[in-house]
Structure 1
Amino acid sequence: MIYLLLGLVLLVVFIAMMRQFVQANPARLAQSIRTYGGILLMILAGVFAVTGRFALAIPAFGFGLSLLGLAGLRNLSGYNPQKTAGQQSQVRSAMVEMELDHDTGALSGTVLAGSFQGRRLDDLTDEELQTFWQEAHQDDQSLKLVEAYLDRRLAGWREDFEPDATHRQRSASSSGPMTDEEAYQILGLSPDAGDAEIRAAHRRLMMRVHPDQGGSGFLAAKINEAKDTLLRRH
């Protein structure tokens, strides 16, 4: 009877793992494998203990517990501190504030200065985006953010937009070292996030914005800077 029950449990765990395999991204899949593997080993430890095989029950229990770990226990309980600050990262410059959705990788933003102040980038027409892109040449940080947005929204925009604005003088000034508040906003974390959460958020976001994945080199650099800033503080 015990082995029949164990077989049913194994079947349920296998089905759940297959669903996770189909739906999850690589990071979540690895976490799910650790979680379900830990659960399975804990169940086996219980079976060994009930049948009196304590020599097998103890190591199975210890290994299962190590697989689950704190992250696995948080996953089972539904507690996920990485998402307490929401599902978006924010990067702000003099002329635009950009948001990156962690789940979808979608990039959106709000114009802070210029002819389209207060409007969402998603609401601008292609012609209006071209005008704003030309205005953004006065601030290098803003220009890089706008171009990262254009890379996501308009394939081939570099050939379509007029190149005359590229000859305008760009501001070489820097806003100075990144503050802790900016770093937390970029990583989408709350100020009480620990080192493990900072590294996890960094890995998750780099999967979305890394240039090798068709993302933005500027945003990837900002995410790296945010991680380094917070880890130095910690």
Structure 2
Amino acid sequence: MQWFLLGIGLFVAAGFIIRWLSSAEPKHVRKIGMWVVVLSLGVLAAWLLLTGKLAAMVAALVAAIPFLSRILKIGLLWPLLRRMFGFARSGGGRPSGRASAGSGRVSEIKTDYLHMYLDHDSGQLAGTIVRGSMIGRDLDTLGVDEMRVLYVECCGAQDQSQTVLETYLERRPDCSGWQNWQASRDENDNGNGRAGNDYEQADSGFRSGEMNAGEARRILGVSEQATREEINRAYQVLIKAVHPDHGGSDYLASKINAARSLLLQLFKD
């Protein structure tokens, strides 16, 4: 009976832990995980000392080293795992819905500073920093101050990094005042011409001739064997997700349009 009750308790506890992991921030997971490991080792050490099994304690610590290194690696990879298994941020903590089209597909868009991922099912946008002072960081792990620093760096990029980041910021409730960052920057740049360069950069848009078939497939999230119907279905899902009314941008829409046009041209005889 005792084992039966213990099993039920462990099952319920596991359910709460899984539910918490599905919405927890990566930094909170790492912090709590570290405390759990420290407390567990502390309790184990105290028990071994009280029972006089000091040698066993030393042996246990030595044996635990490989496992601790694995735990550390999992903690460092948590942002990637979180995105792969759908634990991405959903505005306001709302559960992500699933769409009938494009199920299981993820589109990729790369700029000088960012490698972005757009989930077809939920419409969630996530990404990794590939250049600058915070290279390797996941966007979902950045606080508001760090995000502002990244925004300043992207404003100096020669491509559309700023535009893509602004699309992501529109979907971050805690960064709802990001437009003020641009206003402050324009005031600081008064008279030096940098703001004008930003407008020239935004007006330059995207030239479809710069895209190849591989990049087009990554943008739409389709395989090399994708049919016309699959390409058009992926396009419909994505173009709706990046519409300006839904926090998207003209630049992302132009990339998706160019990708669709390029792939459909490959079917022409």
TM-score (norm 1): 0.59
CA distance in 2: counterparts of 1:214 and 1:133, whole angstroms: 17
Give the match's secondary structure for 2:154: helix
The runs of at least 4 aligned residues of structure 1 exceeding 3 Å deviation read 168-176
SS in 1 for 2:134: coil
Q: Say if 2:168 is the partner of 1:149.
A: yes
1:96-135 to 2 correspondences below 5 Å: 96-135=114-153
Q: How far does the alpha carbon of each residue in 1:103-123 deviate from its partner, in whole angstroms, 9 at most, with x for none?
A: 111111000100110111111
Contact 2:217-2:224 at 8 Å conserved across structures? yes
- Secondary structure at 2:160's aligned position in 1? helix
Cα displacement (A) at 1:24 = 7.5
Aligned to 1:163: 185
**Deviation readout 1:90-141 (Å, 9 max, x if unpaired):** 0001111000111111111000100110111111111111111111122231
CA distance in 2, matches of 1:198, 1:87: 12
User: Residues of 2 paired with 1:217 and 1:211: CA distance?
Assistant: 7
| Number of aligned residue pairs | 156
Distance 2:171 2:140 in 1: 11
Deviation at 1:160, TM superposition (A): 4.6
Alignment of structure 1 residues 182-197 onto 2, 5 Å: 182-197=215-230
Long gaps (5+) in structure 2: 1-96
Aligned to 1:198: 231
Write the mapping of 1:1-234 to structure 2, written as runs, cut at 5 A. 28=100, 86-137=104-155, 138-153=157-172, 154-160=175-181, 162-164=184-186, 167=195, 169-170=197-198, 172=201, 177-234=210-267
Matched residue, 2:74: none
Aligned partners of 1:147 and 1:160: how far apart in 2?
A: 11
RMSD: 2.6
The separation in 2 between residues aligned to 1:195 and 1:148, in whole angstroms, is 28
1:168 CA displacement: 7.2
Q: Which amino acid aligns with 2:159?
A: D
Whole-angstrom CA distance in 2 between matches of 1:24 and 1:95 = 29
- Deviation per CA, 1:179-206: give whole Å up to 9, x if none: 1111100111011101111001001112
Deviations 1:161-186 (Å, cap 9, x if unpaired)?
Answer: 53246627458587852111111001
Q: Is 103-112 or 154-163 further displaced after alignment?
A: 154-163
Percent identity over the alignment is: 38
Are the structure 2 counterparts of residues 24 and 106 from structure 1 closer, same or farther at C-alpha, using a change threshold of 3 Å?
A: closer
Q: Distance in 1 between matches of 2:243 and 2:168?
A: 14
Greater shift after overlay, 163-172 or 139-148? 163-172
Task: Tell me whether 199-208 or 171-180 shows the greater mean CA deviation.
Answer: 171-180
SS in 1 for 2:223: coil
